[in-house]
Amino acid sequence: MPGKPVVILGVFVADTAYRASRQPRMGETILGTSFTLGPGGKGSNQAVAAGRLGADVTFLTRLGVDPFADMARQTWAQAGVRSAVIDTPQSYTGAAYIFVEEATGNNAIIVSPGAAMLISPDDIAANAGLIRSAGVFVTQLEQPIEAALRALEIAREAGVTTILNPAPAASLPERIYTLCDYVTPNETEAEELTGIKVSSLDDARRAAESLLGKGVGAVIITLGEKGALLHTASRSDHVPVVNAGPVVETTGAGDAFNGGLAAALARGMEPLQAVRFACAVAGISVTRPGTAPSMPTLQEVEALLAKG
């Protein structure tokens, strides 16, 4: 069963991914080993992840009127994601440059959101009914913060469970924290928000405690190969990584985690169970190349978790 509806506000971009032994230095040209073009954008990836897990999910965004927008709609249709798109012919559908290090699968990314940077509080107000209808609302920071803030306000007023994935790392207005049932930074983003460098589990707990002090309901810090930390006012639980095989590419792992978390909470899972489920989603995603194409199905995740 899909559970309560999930609504995700965010950005679609076309991922242009380049593999090479290393990044070029400024002014240098090097030969790569491969190139792929595919769907991406944090919000879109999260929506695809949730959709492939069987969630009832709608994605809210702006797109240009161009071939990359056609790619977006096809991607969502294949994943079972409904879309609430504001067509924006005066701009372009976003794109991202992704460098993938051949030996490790680690990545570096530049995102140009295009039309999605025009998402405004007025756009959010026009879609307030959609947001209020959700059981879980998710947003990130690739679209303007003012739009994310207004959407979180509407969701909170309606009693919707709210998740802020504070990516990419950015300074946030203090009033946004009290609107968040969950905040899900990685180590770098947690340091940006708190000033605490996260190099260990104890560091993660200190950073999470700082975020609780700002008014967040619960903090989930993703720790890469170390799993994730769920930290609330009453408990602090380290959830180990769920290993699904050799790592091929880490690009979509955070989005897989957040989409999995939203789907799990929408299905009524308790927070700790939902974090373990999300770790399994991310664990499978990193064994595959790409971002949206790497997202697993519910059956794959349940089979992995069944192995213990």
Q: Is 109 part of a structural domain of the chain?
A: no
Closest residue by Cα to residue 95 from 17, 23, 151, 29: 17
Q: How far apart are CA 127 and CA 145, in angstroms?
A: 17
Residue stretches of the annotated binding site for ATP: 186, 222-227, 254-255
pLDDT at 1: 52
Question: Residue 64: exposed, middle, or buried by beta-carbon count in 10 A (0-12, 13-18, 19+)?
Answer: buried
pLDDT at 308: 76
Residue stretches of the annotated binding site for substrate: 13-15, 41-45, 142, 255
Q: Is 268 part of a structural domain of the chain?
A: yes
Q: Which member of 123, 181, 203, 255 is catalytic?
A: 255
Pairing of strands 218-222, 57-63: unpaired
Q: Is 107 part of a structural domain of the chain?
A: no
Q: What single DSSP character describes residue 176? A: G
Closest residue by Cα to residue 37 from 297, 296, 289, 288: 289
Q: What's the domain range around 154? A: 6-11+41-92+115-306
Q: How far apart are CA 301 and CA 4, in angstroms?
A: 19
pLDDT tens for the chain, residues 1 to 308: 568 999 999 999 998 989 999 999 999 999 999 998 999 999 999 999 999 999 999 999 999 999 999 999 999 999 999 999 999 999 999 998 989 899 988 888 888 889 999 999 999 999 999 999 999 999 999 999 999 999 999 999 999 999 999 998 888 999 999 999 999 999 999 999 999 999 999 999 999 999 999 999 999 999 999 999 999 999 999 999 999 999 988 888 999 999 999 999 999 999 999 999 999 999 999 999 888 889 999 999 999 999 87
Q: Is 29 part of a structural domain of the chain?
A: no
A 10 A CB-CB count for 245 gives: 11
Q: Is 255 a catalytic residue?
A: yes
A 10 A CB-CB count for 132 gives: 15
Q: Give me the residue label for tokens 């969502």.
A: 76
Residue stretches of the annotated binding site: 13-15, 41-45, 142, 186, 222-227, 251, 254-255, 285, 288, 290, 294
pLDDT at 109: 84
Q: How far apart are CA 217 and CA 111, in angstroms?
A: 30
Residue stretches of the annotated binding site for K(+): 251, 285, 288, 290, 294
For the whole model, what pTM was predicted? 0.92
Dihedral angle sign, alpha carbons of residues 96, 261, 83, 168: negative
Q: Is 59 part of a structural domain of the chain?
A: yes
Q: Is 19 part of a structural domain of the chain?
A: no
pLDDT at 286: 94
Count the domains in the chain: 1
A 10 A CB-CB count for 171 gives: 8
Q: Is 102 part of a structural domain of the chain?
A: no
Q: Is 36 part of a structural domain of the chain?
A: no
* Domain at 80, CATH number: 3.40.1190.20
